[in-house]
C-alpha cells in the first residue's frame, strides 16, 4: 500500500488489501459533474470495472488497461455501477470493448437497471446535465425487490467464457439489503443496497476495499433534492455503512468522486453527512426550472459579492496606507491578511469565465448552479469576518455573508430564508439612514481614548475604514403619520435600502429624498436621487435589486428622468 496521505496510487495496479491475488487500478478525478472516478479490479477469475465514468477518453484508457490484463490471462469483464447517474456510466458507450454486450456484462441494482434500459432522462440525471442517452441492456439486476422475501441462496446464475457468475441473496447486514456475487472460484463480492442519493445506489466490498459511490456528497448543496433523492433512506444507508466500517476489515474507501480515503477518515466524513442529512427537511426537487432559477441567482449573487469584496479590499488598502503614514507600520502590515484579495479575485474570475462558457451553450444551468456553490464555499474561507467588522462598515460584511448564505440555502433545495415580522417602516428607514450618516465614533470618543493605545488604534481604524455613505449628500426624509406596521424581512430590507442608497450615490446624486407613506393596499418607501449622471457599468443590476426586494417581502419599481432616479418599494398592508 502507498505511504503518506494516499491510500491508493492512481493509474497503477496495486494489491487489494485483504484479498490475496487481487489488484486494483484507480482512475480518480477532481470532483465535478462531468465524470466519476473509475476503478478496475482484477482477480484470477475476472476483471471488474466499477463505474466506467462519463468521458470518452476515460473509457478509452480503461479499455486499454483491460486489454492488457486480458492479454496476460483471458477473463470475463464485469462492469458494476454504484448507481445510474449518467456521469458514472455513459462513457462506456464510446469504447467498443466496454459497449459490447458480448464482451462486457453490465450489473446494477434493479431500479437503476430499469432507468438505464428505458433511457430515463430524469433518474439518470441526463436531462439536468443536457445529455441524451440510448437504452442500454443490463445483464445483471442486483438486489431486486422481488427477491427480498426469498431465503438465503443463489437467485441468478449465468456463464461467461466458461466462467460461472452467481448472485447469492444474503440476510440484511446493518439494516442494509445485501447480495454476494461469486465469479468462478474467486472470493465473493458483497453488494449493499444503500439508497438515498438515488433509489439504486449501492456500495461494493471487495476484500478490504469499499466502493461507496456518491454517498459522501449526497447531502451537499445541489445534490440534495436531485430526482430520486430520499432523506430517510439516505440516513439509514449512512448509518448502515458507518456500522460496517466500525466492524473492521475495511482498510480503504473509494468514493465516486475525488480522493480515496482511509476507512477511519471515511467514517468520520459519513458521520458528518448523516448529521447534515438530518437537518434537510422539505427539500424541493432539483428539476430544470429550479436549476435555471438557481443558476440565474448564482450569476446575480456573484456580481454583487464581487462588488462588495472590491469595496472592502479598497477600503482595507486605504486604511493600511493611512496607518503607514501615521507610523503604525505593524498595524498596516497585519491588515492585508484579513482579506485574501488575490484568492478572491481568482475565484471571481474563475466563475466569470465559467459564466461566459455557460452563456455560450457549453454548460447546462445545473453546471452553473453547482459552480456557484463551489466558488461560494471557497469565498467563505477568504476573509476574517470578526476582525474586519472592527475596521470596515459592518453592513458590507453582513451583506456579503447574507448573499453567500442565501445562495447556499437555495442550492440546497430551499427558498432563501425569510424572517418576516411586523416592521415600523419609518423607524427602520431612520435607523438605516443614521447608520449611513453618522461616523462610527465621534471626535470626542477618539480623543478620549488617546491614553489607551489599543482603544485609540481600534477607534482610529474604524473611523478611517468606515466613512459614512451619505456624508457628502443632502438627505431629506419625510414620513407620513399613521403608517401601520407591515410584514417585512427586516434584514433583507435594510440590505435593499443600503444597495439603493449606494446606487444613487454611485450614479452621482447630490441630494436624496426619502418618503414613506401608504397608497390603497400598500405601504410605500420612495427614494429619489437628484443629479444622477449614470455609471459606465450601468449600476447595480435591476434583476438583483428586484430579487432582493422580493426576499424582503415587497416589490420594486424604478424610473429615470432628467437626471433623477427614483425607486419605489411596495409592501402589502395587513388586511
Whether the CB-CB separation of 411 and 294 falls below 8 Å is answered with yes
Query: Terminal CA-to-CA distance of the chain, rounded, Å?
Result: 71
Quick one: which of 251, 301, 295, 245 has its CA closest to 273? 245
How many other β-carbons are positioned within 10 Å of the β-carbon of residue 352?
Answer: 14
Which residues does the chain have with pLDDT short of 50? Answer: 1-4, 459, 536
* Three cell numbers, residue 159: 456463464
* Three cell numbers, residue 310: 472590491
State the Cα–Cα distance between residues 107 and 113, nearest whole angstrom. 8
pLDDT for 240: 98
What is the enclosing helix (H) or strand (E) of 486? Answer: strand 486-489
Cell 461616523: give the residue. 439
Beta bridge partners of 156: 167
How many other β-carbons are positioned within 10 Å of the β-carbon of residue 453?
Answer: 9
Count of CA atoms in the C-beta half-sphere (13 A) of 188: 14
Cell 442550492: give the residue. 411
- What's the CA angle centered on 426, arms 422 and 431, to 5 degrees? 95
CATH class in words for 418-437+467-575: alpha beta
pLDDT for 3: 44
pLDDT for 2: 46
Task: Write down the CATH number for the domain with range 14-278.
Answer: 3.60.15.10
Cell 450569476: give the residue. 299
Whole-model pTM: value is: 0.82
Burial call 478-502: b when 16+ CB within 10 Å, e when fewer: ebeeebeebebbbbbbbbbbbbbbb
- At 472-495, the pLDDT tens digits run 899 999 999 999 999 999 999 999
Whether the CB-CB separation of 226 and 269 falls below 8 Å is answered with no
State the Cα–Cα distance between residues 232 and 525, nearest whole angstrom. 45
Domains of the chain, by residue range, sit at: 14-278, 287-417, 418-437+467-575
- At 266-319, the pLDDT tens digits run 999 999 999 999 999 888 888 899 999 999 989 988 988 888 888 888 888 888
Amino acid at each position: 500500500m502507498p505511504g503518506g496521505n494516499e491510500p491508493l496510487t492512481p493509474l497503477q495496479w496495486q494489491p487489494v488489501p485483504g484479498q490475496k491475488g487481487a489488484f486494483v487500478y484507480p482512475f480518480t478525478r477532481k470532483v465535478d459533474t462531468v465524470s466519476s472516478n473509475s476503478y478496475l479490479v482484477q482477480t484470477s477469475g475476472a476483471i471488474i470495472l466499477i463505474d466506467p465514468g462519463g468521458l470518452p477518453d476515460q473509457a478509452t484508457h480503461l479499455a486499454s488497461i483491460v486489454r492488457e490484463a486480458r492479454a496476460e490471462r483471458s477473463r470475463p469483464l464485469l462492469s458494476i455501477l454504484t448507481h445510474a447517474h449518467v456521469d458514472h456510466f455513459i462513457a462506456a458507450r464510446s469504447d467498443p470493448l466496454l459497449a459490447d454486450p458480448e464482451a462486457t456484462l453490465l450489473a446494477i441494482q434493479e431500479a437503476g437497471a430499469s432507468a438505464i434500459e428505458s433511457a430515463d432522462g430524469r433518474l439518470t440525471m441526463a436531462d439536468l446535465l443536457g445529455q441524451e442517452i440510448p437504452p442500454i441492456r443490463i445483464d445483471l439486476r442486483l438486489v431486486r425487490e422481488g427477491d427480498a422475501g426469498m431465503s438465503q441462496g443463489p437467485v441468478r446464475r449465468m456463464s461467461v467464457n466458461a466462467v460461472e457468475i452467481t448472485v447469492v441473496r444474503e440476510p440484511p447486514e446493518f439494516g442494509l439489503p445485501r447480495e454476494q456475487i461469486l465469479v468462478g472460484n474467486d472470493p465473493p463480492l458483497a453488494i449493499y443496497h444503500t439508497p438515498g442519493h438515488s433509489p439504486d445506489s449501492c456500495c461494493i466490498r471487495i476484500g478490504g476495499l469499499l466502493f461507496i459511490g456518491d454517498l459522501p456528497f449526497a447531502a451537499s448543496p445541489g445534490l440534495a433534492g436531485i430526482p430520486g433523492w430520499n432523506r430517510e433512506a439516505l440516513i439509514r444507508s449512512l448509518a448502515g455503512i458507518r456500522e460496517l466500517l466500525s466492524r473492521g476489515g475495511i482498510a480503504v474507501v473509494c468514493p465516486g468522486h475525488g480522493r480515496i480515503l482511509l476507512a477511519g477518515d471515511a467514517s468520520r466524513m459519513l458521520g458528518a453527512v448523516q448529521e447534515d442529512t438530518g437537518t434537510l427537511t422539505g427539500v424541493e426537487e432539483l428539476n430544470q426550472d429550479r436549476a435555471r432559477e438557481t443558476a440565474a441567482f448564482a450569476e446575480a449573487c456573484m456580481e454583487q459579492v464581487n462588488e462588495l469584496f472590491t469595496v472592502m479590499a479598497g477600503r482595507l488598502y486605504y486604511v493600511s496606507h493611512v496607518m503607514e503614514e501615521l507610523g503604525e507600520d505593524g498595524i498596516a502590515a497585519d491588515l492585508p491578511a484579513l482579506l485574501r484579495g488575490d484568492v478572491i479575485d481568482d475565484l471571481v474570475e474563475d466563475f466569470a469565465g465559467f459564466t461566459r462558457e455557460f452563456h455560450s451553450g457549453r454548460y447546462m444551468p445545473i453546471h452553473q448552479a453547482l459552480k456557484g456553490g463551489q466558488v461560494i464555499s471557497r469565498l467563505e474561507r477568504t476573509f476574517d469576518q470578526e476582525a474586519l467588522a472592527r475596521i470596515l462598515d459592518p453592513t458590507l460584511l453582513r451583506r456579503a455573508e447574507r448573499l453567500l448564505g442565501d445562495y447556499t440555502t437555495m442550492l440546497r433545495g430551499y427558498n432563501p430564508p425569510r424572517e418576516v415580522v411586523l416592521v415600523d417602516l419609518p423607524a427602520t428607514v431612520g435607523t438605516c439612514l443614521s447608520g449611513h450618516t453618522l461616523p462610527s465614533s465621534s471626535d470626542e470618543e477618539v480623543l478620549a481614548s488617546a491614553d489607551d493605545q489599543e482603544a485609540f488604534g481600534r477607534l482610529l481604524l474604524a473611523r478611517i475604514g468606515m466613512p459614512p455613505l451619505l456624508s457628502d449628500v443632502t438627505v431629506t426624509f419625510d414620513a407620513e403619520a399613521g403608517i401601520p406596521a407591515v410584514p417585512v424581512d427586516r434584514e433583507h430590507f435594510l440590505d435593499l435600502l443600503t444597495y439603493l442608497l449606494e446606487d444613487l450615490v454611485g450614479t452621482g446624486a447630490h441630494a436624496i429624498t426619502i418618503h414613506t407613506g401608504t397608497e390603497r393596499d400598500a405601504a410605500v418607501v420612495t427614494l429619489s436621487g437628484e443629479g444622477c449622471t449614470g455609471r459606465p457599468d450601468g449600476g447595480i443590476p435591476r434583476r438583483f435589486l428586484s430579487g432582493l426586494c422580493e426576499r424582503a417581502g415587497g416589490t420594486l419599481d424604478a424610473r429615470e428622468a432628467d437626471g433623477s432616479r427614483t425607486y419605489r418599494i411596495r409592501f402589502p398592508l395587513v388586511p
